[in-house]
Amino acid sequence: MSTTTTRVEESRGRVRPGGKRLVALVGRVRELGLIVVLLVIVALVGLQTPRFLTPGNFEQILLSIAILAIVAVGETMVILTRNVDLSVGSTVGMTAFVCADVLKNHPQTPVILIILLGCALGAVLGAVNGLIVALGRVPAIVATLGTLYLYRGLDSYIAGGTQVSAYDVPDSFLSLATTHILGVPALIVFAAAIALIFAYLLRATRTGRELYALGSNPEAARLAGLRAERLIFLTFLLCGLLSGFAGVLWGARFATVDSGAATGLELQVIAAVVVGGVNIFGGSGTILGAMLGAIVLGTIDNALTLLKLSQFWLQAIDGAAILAAVTLDALITRWLQHRLRGGRQR
């Protein structure tokens, strides 16, 4: 994230020597901060309930956020370009239902085909978002609010009040969510692999860096010759594809799927991304940060359960975490801008 900000700033000829290093440092501090917060929670809760510290419990925390984390990877890329995708919950819900329903009617379908079907359907839904936002120039928050309801409505129409139950789908599909790969639950392996792949792509590829440039300063990026529409379309497509894959896993994990599946997931995803330090106005933030954000929220959730506190506290604490993260980001940004410009403007 940081290097691009610097490059854009440099092109304006404003940056002080050493600014690049400073920005990079702050970026790292932001993620280190999350890790510190996480360790503090773990230590405090661990003192209260030793069972919190068992490997089995950490596995449960990661399992509980694995599906959300996969969607958060896609959402991070969309938000980096100064857009947002509110339709991910509906996309997950629709792919979950369609895939489970196909299996209900054709139990012999190989699971790999179902996964491909989910990804393809998700990619189509994402592409529709991308077309509306990139070509139609409709603000993403409005466009995807529309498709949030549109996709959910389509889902309800397809489902028509029916439900797929665990008895209707083959065990090979359900085992997608319960099987282990080298001793680690498959859901966690999938989420970690996707996060690592996309983190690498964002960091090391030209297209990845262009997403940051576009989000940092859209006009400058356009003037520099970036094909903004193509990039925006691509992020929505990938976000839809990842949501589609998450939908398949959703069906396997919860086994009972109706047209209401994953309602409201979009807000949990955006919460994780924002707590993870991804700037809601685009241009900065990392996949690693978003994953840490999801883990922090998942850990708080788990800790409240183990401390036997009322679940009614959970939403308030999640909200406080979001506010804290956003406030911190605003303060860091302001301080950074001050430091970077400081030398000349005085």
Partner 1 sequence: MKTLLRTLLTALSVAMLLMLAACGGSSSSGSGSSGGSSASLNIAFLPKAINNPYFDTAANGAKQAATELKGQFKQVGPTESSAAAQVPFINTLTEQHVSAIVVSANDPNALAPALKRAMQQGIKVVSYDSDVAPDARQIFVNQANSEDIGRIEVQILGKLINYSGDIAILSAASTATNQNTWIGYMKDELTKPQYKNMHLVKIAYGNDDDQQSFQQTLGLLQAYPDLKGIISPTTVGLAAAARAIESVGKGGKVMLTGLGTPNLMRKYVKDGTCPEFALWNPADLGYLAYYAAAALVEGKITGKPGESFNAGKLGTKTIGPNNVVLLGPPTVFNKDNIDQFNF
The site for partner 1 (CB under 8 A) is made up of: 51, 57, 60, 64, 152, 156, 159, 161-163, 165-167, 177-178, 253-263, 301-302, 305-306, 308, 311
Minimum CB–partner distance for residue 135 and partner 1 (Å): 31
- Of 97 and 198, which CB lies nearer to partner 1 in the complex structure? 97
- Of 189 and 254, which CB lies nearer to partner 1 in the complex structure? 254
Q: Which runs of E-coded beta strand occur in the chain?
A: 180-181, 184-185
Minimum CB–partner distance for residue 45 and partner 1 (Å): 12
Count of CB atoms situated within 10 Å of the CB of 217:
21
Element (H, E) at 209: helix 206-216
**Residue 15 · residue 340 · CB < 8 Å:** yes
Minimum CB–partner distance for residue 179 and partner 1 (Å): 11
Minimum CB–partner distance for residue 57 and partner 1 (Å): 7
- Of 177 and 231, which CB lies nearer to partner 1 in the complex structure? 177
- Of 309 and 323, which CB lies nearer to partner 1 in the complex structure? 309
Minimum CB–partner distance for residue 64 and partner 1 (Å): 6
The whole-angstrom separation of Cα 193 and Cα 187 is: 10
Residues 40-69, buried b or exposed e (16+ Cβ, 10 A)?
ebbeebbeeeeebeeeebeeebbbbbbbbb
Relative to beta strand 184-185, strand 180-181 is antiparallel
- Of 178 and 333, which CB lies nearer to partner 1 in the complex structure? 178
**Residue 107 · residue 170 · CB < 8 Å:** yes
Chain centroid to CA 278: 10
- Of 3 and 163, which CB lies nearer to partner 1 in the complex structure? 163
Chain centroid to CA 113: 25
Minimum CB–partner distance for residue 306 and partner 1 (Å): 5
